[in-house]
Amino acid sequence: MTKKSLLLVLVITMIISKSQSQSNIYTPELLWKLGRISELQLSPDGKTLLFGITYYDVEKNKGSRNIWTMSVDGSSLKKITDTEPSEQNAVWRPDGKKIGFLFPVDDNMQLFEMNPDGTDRQQISHIKGGIEGFKYANDMSKILFTQSVKLDKNAQDIHQDMPKANVLIADDLMYRHWNAWTNYSYSHVFIADYPNMKNIVDIMENERFASPIPNFGGMEEINFSPDGRKIAYTCKKKVGKEFSLSTNSDIYIYDIENKTTTNISAPNAGYDIDPVFSPNGTLLSWVSMQTDGFESDKSRIFIHDFNTHQTTNFSADFDASASNFVFSKDEKILYFLSVTKGTTQIFALNIAKKQINMLTQGQHNYHNICVANNCIYALRESMQYPADVFVVDLKKKTQTQLTCINKDLLQNIASIDVKERWITTTDGKQMLVWVILPPNFDSTKKYPAVLYCQGGPQSAVSQFFSYRWNFQVMASRGYVVVAPNRRGVPGFGQEWVNQISLDYGGQNMNDYLSAIDNIAQEPYIDADKLGCVGASYGGFSVYWLAGHHQKRFKAFIAHCAMFNFKSWYATTDELFFANHDLGGAFWENPQPQSYDFSPNNFVEKWDTPIMVIHGGNDFRIPYTEGLQAFNIAQMKGIPSRLLYFPEETHFVVKPQNSIVWHREFLNWLDKFLK
Angle at 34 between CA 33 and CA 39, to 5 degrees: 135
Active-site option among 249, 285, 501, 536: 536
Q: Catalytic annotation on 618? A: yes
Which of 304, 364, 614, 650 is flagged as catalytic? 650
List of E strands, 236-342: 250-255, 260-263, 272-277, 283-288, 300-305, 310-313, 323-327, 333-340
Residue 499 neighbours by CB under 8 Å, 6+ apart = 487, 488, 507, 508
Please compute, for residue 301, the number of CA atoms within 13 A of its CA located in the half-sphere on the CB side. 29
The Cα–Cα gap between 143 and 281 comes to 17
Burial class (CB in 10 A: 0-12, 13-18, 19+), 199: exposed
Is 23 assigned a catalytic role?
Answer: no
Q: Which of 618, 640, 658, 662 is catalytic?
A: 618
Strand 447-453 and strand 525-535: the pairing is parallel
Helix axes 507-520, 537-546, angle to 10 degrees: 70
CA-angle at 633, arms to 632 and 639, nearest 5°: 160
Single-letter amino acid code for the residue at 226: P
**Active-site residue flag, 536:** yes
Nearest to residue 457, comparing CAs of 487, 430, 494, 424?
A: 487
Q: Which of 549, 559, 565 is nearest to 504 (CA)?
A: 565
Torsion of CA 386, 389, 393, 394, to 10 degrees: 70
Q: How far is Cα 238 from Cα 247, in angstroms, rounded to an integer?
A: 9
- Chain centroid to Cα 117, Å, comes to 31
CA atoms of 144 and 222, how far apart (whole Å): 9
Catalytically annotated residues: 536, 618, 650
